[in-house]
Structure formats: structure tokens, C-alpha cells
Amino acid sequence: MADSAIEVLTRALSGHGINENAMIETLGKWNHEEKKLFRKKSSHFFSEDERSFERWEEHGMRLLKHEFMRFKNAVVLWTTHPWERDARLVKEALSKGHHGQNINILIEVACTRTSDELLGARKAYHSLFDHSIEEDVASHLNGPERKLLVALMSAYRYEGPKYKEEIAKSEAKKFAHSIKEANSKKSSLIEDEEIVRILSTRSKHFLHALYKHYNEISAGRSIDEDLHGDLRLQEAVLCLTNPVKYFTQLLDVSLKADADKKIKKVLTRVVVTRADNDMKEIKVEFKKQFGVSLAEKIGSVCNGSYKDFLITLLARSD
């Protein structure tokens, strides 16, 4: 299967056009090993550094984007190594300055990836840009989010299930107290050292328990509901404790008829990055919240090969 994709992409870069349907059929069904084989065998598209990390060649990426037109970004993101994909998403977000959706991407990468995935993105960033992610986040962001984002990007969390229930209860109480204090003083929590420490160091199993205990302490309200005045903290908590809800909300916004171009790019990013992760759960949540399947919604909003490719990726989790 990888050989046929290599042949199709070679034709694409020759300037003679491609069979988009064949490309969708081939790429949409790839597994991780087939994508890895494609990168290994396509030396005219990818180069390998001293850490055996395969990166897109800039000229190949430009030609491919031009050839694929409407679904160029989806194809490029899908064929890119996940580490490079995240590294480039972070770089793009930082290069466009301190704007809402860009900070959102940084939080998404830092909080919804596993520890090894985030470490891989940091390694890829070194290889691609000769800087560290943490260095660039610290130098590009000047607002109150900087401390939180540097801490989240630097994290390497324990991934196992073990945690101490009494500590989760205690830190849920700290959260509740800090939120209450911030509300009374009409101040922001985003630079609170204890809040930043908890969100950037505790395991996700621990944070799920903390979230549950907070709900009990606050008579049914969730942390993200009570953080409505601190958007970045709200996003971080949601990404860490309920990424399915977070991505479902992003998809809903990106599929609205009046969404601008920047927001519409979110659809590509979410479908591609979650296709082999939690897309099955996201589809269930989307149908539950909005009464229509995600595939049906995409089919009614998107067109052409772009629509077909996204729906093919969705089908991987069926």
C-alpha cells in the first residue's frame, strides 16, 4: 500500500496531476507502520537526521500543497510524522503572535498528547528549528499565559493509574479556595503558582480524580465552569481532564456556516490528529450533543475530495 502511495505522490510532484480518489483510498487506510514505511522509502520527500527522525523536505511539502489544492493541509498533516506535525503546529501558532486561537493550539498540544508524544514533539522541534519549544514559548509570549504555557510544554507526566486519593481531595480544595479568592478579588488565576504546579505536574489520572472531587465540593459545578473568566486555564483543564468534550466543542465551532478561514482550519487539525486516538468517542459525543453524526455534518458543510478524505479518516474508528 505504501508503494502505491509513493508512486502517486511521485506523479503528483512531476506536475502531471494525481488521482485524488486513489490517494484518499490509500492514505485514509494507512496504519502507523505504513506511514513510517512511506517516510523511510521516500527519500525525495523526507530526510533523516542523526536521531532517525524523518522530516519533510520543504520543497516537497510546497509542491504537494500546491498539487492537492483543497485538501492539501489534510494530506500533508496526515502523512507527516506526528512529532513533526505537532512541532510545526506549535511553530505556526507562535509565528502568528499572541492571538486567541494560536494560544489554544499550544494548550491543545501540551495537554492532549501523552508524555512521550509531547517529548517527541519537543525533539522534533529541536531538529526542525534549532530551538526548544520551551525557549520559543517563553520568548514569544509576554502575557500572563507565559508561565502556564512554559510549564505545560515542559511537562513529562507519570502516565500510570496510581495516585493518592487524599492528595487529590486536598488539591481539589486548593483549587476551590483559589477560584473563590480570585472571584472575590476579581483577579486572574493564570499566574497562581499552585494552580500552575498542579496542572503541569500531576498525572491525568490524578487530575481526573481532582476534577471529580471539585465537583463534589462545589455542589455539582465543574472546574472548567467555574473558570469561565480564565479562558486559558479553562481550556487547559478541559484538555487535561476531558479532551473528548474539548474536541467536540472545537468541531462544532469549525463546522458553523459563518466560521472564518482560521476556524475552518481547526476541522482539518482535529480530524487528522484524533483519527487514531479518541475519534470514536468524539463521534459519539458529537452525535449526543448535536443530534447529527459528525460524518453527516461534515458531508453537509464540506465539498469534493477534502470532504471525502475527512470522512475516510473518520471511518477508521468505526
Number of neighbours of residue 183 by Cβ within 10 angstroms? 12
Above 50 in pLDDT, residue 6?
Answer: yes
The mean pLDDT value for 199-222 works out to 95
Phi-psi region of 221 (alpha: psi -120 to 50; beta: other; left: phi over 0): beta
Residue 14's pLDDT is what?
47
Can you give the pTM of this predicted structure?
A: 0.79
Q: What pairing do the DSSP bridges indicate for beta strands 46-48 and 54-56?
A: antiparallel
**Rounded to 5 degrees, what angle do the CA atoms 249, 303, 31 make?**
70
Task: In whole angstroms, give the CA distance from residue 91 to residue 306.
Answer: 24
Confidence bin at 16 (pLDDT 50/70/90): very low
Above 70 in pLDDT, residue 97?
Answer: no
**Integer angstrom CA distances of residue 291 from 202, 203, 279, 308, 313:** 35, 33, 17, 22, 21
Half-sphere exposure of 159 (CA within 13 A, CB side): 9
Residue 19's pLDDT is what?
62
- Within 227-278, residue ranges assigned H as helices are 231-241, 243-254, 261-274
Residue 98's pLDDT is what?
46
The predicted-structure confidence for 109-139, as pLDDT tens digits, reads as follows 999 999 999 999 999 999 999 999 999 999 9
Residue 74's pLDDT is what?
85
Task: In whole angstroms, give the CA distance from residue 265 to residue 99.
Answer: 15
Confidence bin at 65 (pLDDT 50/70/90): low
User: Could you tell me how many residues make up the chain?
Assistant: 318
Alpha-carbon dihedral 210, 159, 108, 251, rounded to 10 degrees: -80
Q: Which residue has the higher pLDDT, 274 or 224?
A: 274
- What is the distance of C-alpha 189 from the center of its chain? 24
Domains of the chain (ranges, CATH numbers): 2-80 (1.10.220.10), 83-143 (1.10.220.10), 157-241 (1.10.220.10), 263-315 (1.10.220.10)
3 state DSSP class of 54 = strand
Residue 183's pLDDT is what?
83
Above 70 in pLDDT, residue 94?
Answer: yes
The predicted-structure confidence for 252-294, as pLDDT tens digits, reads as follows 999 987 777 777 789 999 999 999 999 999 999 999 999 999 9
Question: In this structure, what C-alpha cell is assigned to residue 1?
Answer: 500500500
Residue 264's pLDDT is what?
76
Residue 137's pLDDT is what?
95
